[in-house]
């Protein structure tokens, strides 16, 4: 079964959306090149710094678990298939580490900057339609 993407909306269909966020979303969603948003790089960096510290603490906990497990049985750390309480604790900690990764931020870093013409098109449309309150428009 072939899945087709919905056709792009024409400008008149975009104009049919109510003013404000609905029309802005329709316009930005109409063309992949117009889908541009603030990256909040400083805030992302702040979150990453916080996550980095949390991950460092989790790493210390994992190292402590490894050290405690290695002393009585040096071979216990050669497998992930153990079924004891310490192995379960290590597995839970590793899961917490995996869930803490910020792959979406890393993907965002790879996204190319929008081309100047696309930025101008979006700015012109927003300037003409004024779909958002001024304070919210300045945030974009």
Q: Are 97 and 55 in contact (CB under 8 A)?
A: yes
Residue 83 has pLDDT above 70, yes or no: yes
Q: What is the pTM of this model?
A: 0.48
Q: Is the pLDDT of residue 2 over 60?
A: no
Question: Which of 61-70, 78-87, 114-123 shows the lowest per-residue confidence on average (mean pLDDT)?
Answer: 78-87
pLDDT digits (tens, 9 = 90+) for 62-82: 888 888 877 777 767 766 667
Q: Nearest Cα to 91, choosing from 125, 62, 70, 71? A: 62
Tokens of 62: 């994992």
């Amino acid at each position: 079964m072939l899945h087709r993407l919905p056709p792009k909306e024409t400008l008149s269909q975009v104009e049919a959306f109510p003013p404000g966020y609905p029309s802005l979303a329709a316009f930005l969603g109409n063309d992949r090149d117009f889908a541009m948003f603030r990256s909040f790089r400083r805030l992302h960096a702040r979150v990453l710094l916080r996550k980095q510290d949390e991950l460092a603490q989790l790493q210390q906990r994992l190292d402590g678990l490894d050290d405690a497990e290695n002393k009585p049985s040096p071979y216990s750390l050669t497998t992930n298939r153990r079924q004891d309480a310490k192995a379960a604790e290590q597995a839970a900690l590793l899961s917490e580490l995996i869930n803490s990764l910020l792959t979406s931020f890393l993907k965002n870093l790879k996204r190319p900057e929008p081309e100047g013409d696309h930025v101008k098109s979006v700015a012109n449309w927003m300037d003409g339609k004024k779909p958002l309150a001024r304070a919210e428009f300045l945030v974009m």
